[in-house]
Amino acid sequence: MAGETVLVVGGAGYIGSHTCLDLANKGFQPVVYDNFSNGHREFVKWGPAEEGDIRDRARLDEVLAKHKPAAILHFAALIEVGESVKDPVSFYENNVIGTLTLLSAAQAAGVGAFVFSSTCATYGLPQSVPLDESHRQVPINPYGRTKYIVEQALADYDQYKGLRSVVLRYFNAAGADFEGRIGEWHTPETHAIPLAIEAALGRRQGFKVFGSDYDTRDGTCVRDYIHVLDLADAHVRAVEYLLRGGESVALNLGTGTGTTVKELLGTIETVSDRPFPVEYVGRREGDSTTLVANNDKARDVLGWSPKYDLTEIVESAWNWHAKSNQH
């Protein structure tokens, strides 16, 4: 499989760019397809870039004909839950219509292997923890629903059209390339680790914790933080699995270890050696008490297991944010 071309749609974004790095390290040729609305041209370092939107069928056809990829990795999506509530139309246009356009182009080009970036938000409020792939899917916001709709479409494309896919449901992506070449860079930033690191660096006033009265070991929410390079490794393994003839499957990507917000902040303070102000405020609507993955299936199907722990996640993120002036 070495030398095969993989089209990485949304490859200039956070997880997409780290996956391009891993693809290149494993002998693949990543080609980035991105409209650069949220991605960064500076993050395209391991292969050519083609500018275009996933809703532009003619442009997709042109790029697929030019590069003839063996597989497609699809990361391009609007991802902010709060924004999806304010502007659901944009999320449906991009995440659903855009993906269906991409799938039609992929089929027309004869691409039979498709890896989809999904989310644990498709599960909705957890009925049991840790969550496994058989947990009911009842998303509670437009973002989660758009991802769930695509998952359902992919099941139909597999059954009726023979397009095999791996659906990867992320828990909390975090961290950065250990060499500091790329990292987490969102505008605006809404993720806990970058926000807390920016507070430690003095780039923002402090850090707000939403809710301290949850039924957890210290009253704050529990989340499953997974290193972005572990996510990237799973995506490349998913490509290899499909190219070997693997059947369609949906897999959780998480560590299986839960971390409270207080524990996370303590780790960031230890790594940075910089205390920062923390304010405890009321709960945020829609937040689950605990979100932790059961990752047994990804281990069984892909031979994948996460390598990095919370301290390594925070160290790599700190390295990236501390040296980066892009914020």
Could you tell me which residues come within 8 angstroms of residue 75 by beta carbon, excluding any fewer than 6 positions away?
8, 9, 10, 11, 13, 15, 16, 19, 117
Q: Does residue 326 register a pLDDT over 60?
A: no
The string of pLDDT tens digits covering residues 283-312 is: 987 788 999 999 999 999 999 999 999 999
The string of pLDDT tens digits covering residues 85-132 is: 899 999 999 999 999 999 999 999 999 999 999 999 999 999 999 999
Q: Does residue 157 register a pLDDT over 60?
A: yes
Q: Does residue 199 register a pLDDT over 90?
A: yes
Q: Does residue 280 register a pLDDT over 80?
A: yes
Q: Does residue 327 register a pLDDT over 80?
A: no
Could you tell me which residues come within 8 angstroms of residue 104 by beta carbon, excluding any fewer than 6 positions away?
57
The DSSP result for 74-98, as a single string, is: E------HHHHHH-HHHHIIIIIII
Q: Return the active site residues.
A: 143
Q: Which of 68, 153, 147 is nearest to 111 (CA)?
A: 68
- CA pair distance 309, 302, nearest whole angstrom: 20
CATH fold group of domain 192-223+256-291+305-324: UDP-galactose 4-epimerase; domain 1 (3.90.25)
Q: Which of 160, 89, 161, 91 is nearest to 119 (CA)?
A: 91
Q: Tell me how crowded residue 151 is: count the other CB atoms within 10 A of its CB.
A: 18
CATH number 3.40.50.300 given to 5-173+226-253: no
Q: In the chain, pLDDT over 70 holds for what percent of residues?
A: 98
Q: Does residue 204 register a pLDDT over 60?
A: yes
Predicted pLDDT at 325: 57
Q: How confident is the model at residue 249 (pLDDT cuts 50, 70, 90)?
A: very high
Alpha carbon distances (Å) from 81 to 86, 229, 275, 318: 9, 23, 29, 25
The DSSP result for 139-198, as a single string, is: --SHHHHHHHHHHHHHHHHHHHH--EEEEEEE-EEE---TTSSS----SS---HHHHHHH
- CA pair distance 142, 252, nearest whole angstrom: 20
- CA pair distance 65, 167, nearest whole angstrom: 25
Over residues 211-217, the mean pLDDT reads: 95
Report field, pTM of the whole predicted structure over 0.75 = yes
Enumerate the H helices of 187-260 as residue ranges: 192-200, 228-243
- CA pair distance 44, 61, nearest whole angstrom: 21
Predicted pLDDT at 231: 98
Question: Which tokens belong to 158?
Answer: 């597999």
Q: Does residue 264 register a pLDDT over 80?
A: yes
The string of pLDDT tens digits covering residues 35-76 is: 999 999 999 999 999 999 999 999 999 999 999 999 999 999
Domain with CATH 3.90.25.10 in the chain: 192-223+256-291+305-324
Domain with CATH 3.40.50.720 in the chain: 5-173+226-253
More confident residue, 154 or 191: 154
User: 80-96 in b/e burial notation, b at 16+ Cβ within 10 A?
Assistant: bbebbeeeeeebbebbb
Question: Which tokens belong to 54?
Answer: 């996933």
Predicted pLDDT at 1: 65
Q: How confident is the model at residue 27 (pLDDT cuts 50, 70, 90)?
A: very high
Predicted pLDDT at 63: 98
The label of the residue with tokens 């356009």 reads 101
Confirm if 75 and 16 have CB atoms less than 8 A apart. Answer: yes
Predicted pLDDT at 2: 65
Q: Of the ranges 155-159, 182-186, 250-254, 314-318, which one carries the lowest mean pLDDT score?
A: 182-186
Over residues 186-192, the mean pLDDT reads: 84
Could you tell me which residues come within 8 angstroms of residue 139 by beta carbon, excluding any fewer than 6 positions away?
121, 122, 123, 124, 145, 147, 148
Pairing of strands 172-174, 71-74: unpaired
Confirm if 254 and 322 have CB atoms less than 8 A apart. Answer: no
Query: Counting beta carbons within 10 angstroms of the beta carbon of residue 41, is it exposed (0 to 12), middle (13 to 18) or buried (19 or more)?
Result: exposed
> Tell me, what amino acid is at 237?
R
- CA pair distance 93, 9, nearest whole angstrom: 16
Predicted pLDDT at 6: 98
